[in-house]
Structure formats: C-alpha cells, structure tokens
C-alpha cells in the first residue's frame, strides 16, 4: 500500500502528461539562451503573472536569493516578516552569500506586515550609521501563517508605500496560484505591485523541478548573472521546463480541488477529541492543527503511529501538525487519513 503523503505539496509526482512532454521535449543550451522549451516556459510564466520576462531556476530558494542579489548590494538591508520563508527556511543565503542584512518585523496572523511597521523599518537616507533599505519582501500564500492568501488591495498598499520611499518590492509567490484561486483573482493582479516575483512549479502545480523568477526585462537580465553565480545554469533544461509548461497550462484551475479537500479534511478532523484546529484553517490547501494539552501522546509519537497506518504528516512544532492537500490526494485518501487519526488518538 502506498502512503498517503500529507507532509507537503512538494511531494507531488509529475503527471503522465508531464512525463510524456519531458520525453519529447526539444532542447538546446539554455546558458546560451537556445533552449526553445525553456524560452517558451519563461514567456508563458511571465505573461501569467503580468511581467515582461522570466528566468527558469532550479528552486524557489534560488529564485528568491537571485532576486535579493539583484535588488541589493552588500551591506544593504531587506525588510521582511519574522515568519518569512526567506528568513526561516533558506539557510540565511541572502546574508551569507549576498551580505544583505535582514530587518525583521512581526508577521500578523493573516501573513501581512503592518504598514506602519514597514514604514518605521525603512531607514532614513543619508545617515552613515545605517544600512541602506533597498527591499521589502512579502510571501503569498504565507506558509507559516496557515497558507494565508494576501489580497490584491493589501499588496497594492505595500507597493505604494515601498515605491514612495524608493525601495523595491519582491513577492515570494511560491504558492501564488493557490492565492489567486482562493481569492478569485488572477496571479497577475496579485503580482502587479511587485518589482519581482517568484513562483514554484514543483508544489501544487506538480512539476518535478523548478521555479520562475519574473520581473522587468532589465531586472531579469541582471538576475541571469546572479543565477550563473549560484550555479543555476542547467544547459538542456527543456526536459524539466516541458513539465512546467504542462503545469501552467493544466494544473492551475484545479487547485480549487485541493482547497476543497483541505476544507473537508479539516471539518472531519475537528470532530476528533484531542485535536485542536487553528482558527479559520484551511485558508488554502494547508490544514494546521495541534494536540490538546492533556494528550498523553506527543507530536513525534502521533506522527510515528500515523506513519504505521500509512499516513505521513508534517510537523510544525512539538505538538503541532501541517497537513497539505495536493493533486495526488483524493477523497478516499482524506477519509483514510481521518480514520488513521481516530485510530491513533482514540
């Protein structure tokens, strides 16, 4: 029996259509700009988020880092939330490799940054004691804040504030299309205020590898150098890009199914004694829940017992879990996962 894997939407396997496209992909040397499939993916992705150009990179982490390196010089400062993926889960690359300082302000429960806190974090120019504020980064959907989607109106307000002070805005849109589907808007509307945006092909969209970093043509030309420095020139990468094209053409609208299944999963788990669901979970495709304080089991024990039942879950703390719906989770898997939780806890 195959495991029901709810740890993340990064565990998705490529679809049969993707595998066929990869096998048949026309390729060239992308470092020379000569891979037609990569070029097609980049054009398609840029158009879908309303930007002039895009750059295919192996991962969202590399995409975010290349963006920071393009926007900032050594000693500059980037402003972002204290629960941002760029800060928590990308190995400190912006500081270690780019010499960019990170100024943290608290993320609100809905994933936003308080506008006044952003304003106060921007350094006054001309004082040699301060680093230079160059960049503000947002995350949409926000992973550590329950998979929360950030609205068009909020992102626009941040963009206006940032640009008023001469800074750039980067959007870590790893799950941007989940946000667009949840809010009923286009990804281009959500990305419009940003000077650069990344989104992943290898999460809910189910491609095996890759992300796109998008922005103006001039920005992408500079980001290309950062990608080269980071080792992201992948030569005949059209084999991978072919799956990304299928992902963008066939997998975006169906993300609503993942959101629906996450809601169904949450509703069923809410009735199990000993489990406490986060308020308003799920906001998109992620269900966050915790064990009750009086539970005789801890998170590791519950995870191990669920795994023995064929259900894999993500840990988000000693007694806290993240369950993620994706293309390879169907209604029967939801029912089996709920049954496994009942078996373990009852």
Mean pLDDT of the 215-239 span: 97
* Beta carbons within 8 Å of 101's beta carbon, 6+ residues apart: 75, 76, 77, 78, 95, 131
For the domain 254-345, what is the CATH code? 3.90.1150.10
Name the band, by pLDDT with cuts 50, 70 and 90, for residue 2.
confident
- Domain positions in the chain: 13-250, 254-345
Strand partners, 276: 290
Q: How would CATH label the architecture of 13-250? A: 3-Layer(aba) Sandwich (3.40)
| Token reading at 184 | 């009923």
Radius of gyration over alpha carbons of the chain, in Å?
Answer: 21
Which residue's entry shows tokens 């039942």? 309
Residue 189: band (very low, low, confident or very high) from pLDDT cuts 50, 70, 90: very high
Burial degree of 231 (CB within 10 A; 0-12, 13-18, 19+): exposed
> What pLDDT shows up at residue 1?
56
- On the question of pLDDT at 343 being above 70, the answer is yes
| Residue 127 structure tokens | 């004082």
Residues 256-287: pLDDT tens digits? 999 999 999 999 999 999 999 999 999 999 99
Tokens of 342: 């009942």
* Across 17-28, average pLDDT: 98
Q: What is the mean pLDDT of the chain?
A: 97
Q: Name the nearest CA neighbour of 246 among 51, 50, 36, 44.
A: 44
pLDDT digits (tens, 9 = 90+) for 294-342: 999 999 999 999 999 999 999 878 899 999 999 999 999 999 999 999 9
pLDDT tens, residue by residue, 78-95: 999 999 999 999 999 999
Q: Count the alpha carbons within 13 Å of 128 in the hemisphere toward its beta carbon.
A: 0
Helices and strands (H, E) in the chain, number of each type = 14, 13
> What pTM does this model have?
0.96
Specify the higher pLDDT residue, 200 or 314. Answer: 200
Give me the half-sphere count of Cα atoms (radius 13 Å) on the Cβ side of residue 248. 22
String of DSSP letters for 236-270: STHHHHHHHHHHHHHSSTTHHHHHHHHHHHHHHHT
- Residue 346: the pLDDT is 84
User: How much is the pLDDT for 315?
Assistant: 85
């Amino acid at each position: 029996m195959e495991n029901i894997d709810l740890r993340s939407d990064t565990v998705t396997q490529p679809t049969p259509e993707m595998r066929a496209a990869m096998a048949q992909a026309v390729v060239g040397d992308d470092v020379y700009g000569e891979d037609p499939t990569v070029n097609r993916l980049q054009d398609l992705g840029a158009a879908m988020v309303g930007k002039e150009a895009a750059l295919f990179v192996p991962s969202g982490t590399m995409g975010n880092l290349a963006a920071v390196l393009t926007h900032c010089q050594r000693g500059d400062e980037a402003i972002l939330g204290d629960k941002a993926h760029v800060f928590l889960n990308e190995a400190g690359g912006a500081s270690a490799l780019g010499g960019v300082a990170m100024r943290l302000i608290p993320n609100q429960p809905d994933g936003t940054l308080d506008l006044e806190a952003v304003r106060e974090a921007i350094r006054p120019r001309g004082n040699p004691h301060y680093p230079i504020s160059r960049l503000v980064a947002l995350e949409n959907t926000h992973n550590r804040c329950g998979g929360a989607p950030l609205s068009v109106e909020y992102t626009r307000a941040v963009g206006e504030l940032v640009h008023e002070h001469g800074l750039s805005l980067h959007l870590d849109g790893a799950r941007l299309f989940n946000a667009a589907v949840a809010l009923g808007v286009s990804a281009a509307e959500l990305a419009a205020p940003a000077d650069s945006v990344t989104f992943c092909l290898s999460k809910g969209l189910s491609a095996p590898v890759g992300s796109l970093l998008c922005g103006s043509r001039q920005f992408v030309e500079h980001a290309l150098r950062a990608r080269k420095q980071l080792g992201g020139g992948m030569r005949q990468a059209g084999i991978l890009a072919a799956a990304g094209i299928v992902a963008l053409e066939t997998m975006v609208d169906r993300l609503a199914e993942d959101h629906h299944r996450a809601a169904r999963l949450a509703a069923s788990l809410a009735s199990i004694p000993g489990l406490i669901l986060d308020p308003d979970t799920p906001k998109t495709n992620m269900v966050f829940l915790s064990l009750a304080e009086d539970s005789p089991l801890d998170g590791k024990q519950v995870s191990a017992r669920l795994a023995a039942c064929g259900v894999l879950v993500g840990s988000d703390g000693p007694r806290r879990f993240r369950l993620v719906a994706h293309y390879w989770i169907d209604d029967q898997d939801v029912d089996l996962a709920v049954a496994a939780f009942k078996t373990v806890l009852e």
